[in-house]
């Protein structure tokens, strides 16, 4: 049992850019890196272990061998690996979309639904995203606006700034805008229903599929409520801020200013995603040097470890 640095599978969606390669060190044979899946056991992209005894092994293979205990008592309660963590570089606007809840997704898609949290890592001046509706509308109006291409007149546009947090509960209409780079912590699901895509076409030259009927069944047709972020707490070596906590994950921002003492106990695994700076992670005799973009899985029960450096990290547990 040791801290495992992960290699992220990358996605080359047409709206992506180059910052994940040039600034975060992600590697891909594709020109575009829209997303890097930093902690993933999803069939559409699985993280690979880079160091130690299990180097070269897919994270799913390690978990099959190690057993559910490394997920922790809370993690083991889920039917399958509970979370998926991404970095997303939106050079262009993403589609306007919605994700179903667990009940609908399990019944219709055969996997869990998708509640997620966005942390704004960086953004261009004037960048904005779509977060729910400006005011409540009927299901009939929702369908009509999709049909007559006026949906964007009814959505709630939010200017964003570095460090902002958005909690996207299942059923919330949303879209990441151009010029935004985010860290996304979400349920382990890849089910997305697009309702508007700016008339774009995919690599095959055809318009990308919309999922209007399914979206109409699951979308909450009202303004989204702002999510309150907790006040920062000062600890030796870091300032810790709880960004979001729900039934599926907890995410904390760590502002590092020295050696921070942490502990991966029996309740949950830990995941560290370094967004800025450099740090040394030490657990017993194991030491990792982490640079911007590093992703580390720490099994539940590993115990005490330190994160020593300067910069910013996201700590995710379940």
Q: Dihedral angle at the C-alpha atoms of 11, 17, 22, 28, nearest 10 degrees? A: 20
Q: How far apart are the first and last CA of the chain?
A: 19
Q: Which residues pair with 10 in a beta bridge?
A: 36
In 3D space, the residue among 243, 260, 228, 254 whose CA is nearest the CA of residue 313 turns out to be 254
In 3D space, the residue among 263, 102, 299 whose CA is nearest the CA of residue 186 turns out to be 102
Give SS3 for 154: coil
From the list 48, 74, 194, 252, the catalytic residue is: 194
Exposed / middle / buried, residue 80 (Cβ in 10 Å: 0-12, 13-18, 19+): exposed
Host H or E run for residue 17: none
CA gap 256, 13 in Å, rounded: 33
Based on the residue annotation, tell me whether 194 is a catalytic residue of this protein.
yes
CA gap 286, 227 in Å, rounded: 37
The DSSP-derived string for 106-128 is HHHTSS----EEEEEEEE-TT-E
- Tokens describing residue 268: 């949950």
CA gap 200, 15 in Å, rounded: 10
Supply the residues annotated as catalytic: 194
């Amino acid at each position: 049992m040791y801290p495992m640095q992960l290699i992220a599978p990358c996605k080359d969606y047409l709206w992506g850019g180059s910052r994940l390669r040039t600034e975060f060190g992600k590697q891909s044979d594709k020109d575009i890196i829209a997303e890097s899946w930093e902690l993933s056991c999803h069939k559409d992209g699985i993280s690979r272990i880079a160091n130690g005894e299990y180097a070269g092994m897919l994270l799913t293979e390690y978990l099959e061998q190690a057993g559910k205990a490394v997920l922790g008592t809370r993690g083991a309660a889920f039917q399958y690996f509970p979370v998926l963590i991404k970095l997303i570089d939106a050079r262009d606007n993403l589609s306007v979309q919605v994700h179903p809840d667990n009940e609908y997704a399990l019944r219709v898609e055969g996997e869990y639904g998708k509640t997620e949290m966005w942390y704004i890592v960086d953004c261009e001046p004037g960048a904005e995203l779509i977060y729910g509706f400006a005011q409540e509308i009927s299901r009939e109006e929702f369908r009509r606006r999709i049909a007559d291409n006026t949906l964007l007149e009814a959505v709630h546009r939010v200017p964003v700034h570095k460090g902002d947090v958005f909690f996207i509960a299942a059923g919330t209409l949303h879209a990441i805008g151009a010029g935004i780079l985010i860290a996304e912590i979400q349920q382990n699901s890849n089910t997305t229903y697009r309702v508007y895509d700016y008339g774009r076409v995919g690599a095959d030259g055809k318009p990308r599929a919309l999922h209007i009927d399914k979206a109409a069944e699951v979308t909450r047709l009202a303004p989204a409520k702002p999510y309150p972020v907790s006040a920062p707490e000062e600890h030796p070596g870091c300032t810790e801020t709880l960004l979001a906590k729900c039934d599926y994950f907890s995410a904390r921002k760590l502002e590092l200013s020295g050696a921070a003492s942490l502990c991966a106990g029996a309740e949950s695994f830990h995941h560290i995603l370094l967004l800025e700076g450099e740090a040394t992670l030490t657990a017993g005799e194991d030491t990792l040097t982490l640079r911007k973009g590093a992703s580390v899985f720490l099994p539940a029960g590993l115990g005490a470890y330190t994160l020593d450096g300067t910069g910013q990290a996201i700590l995710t547990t379940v």
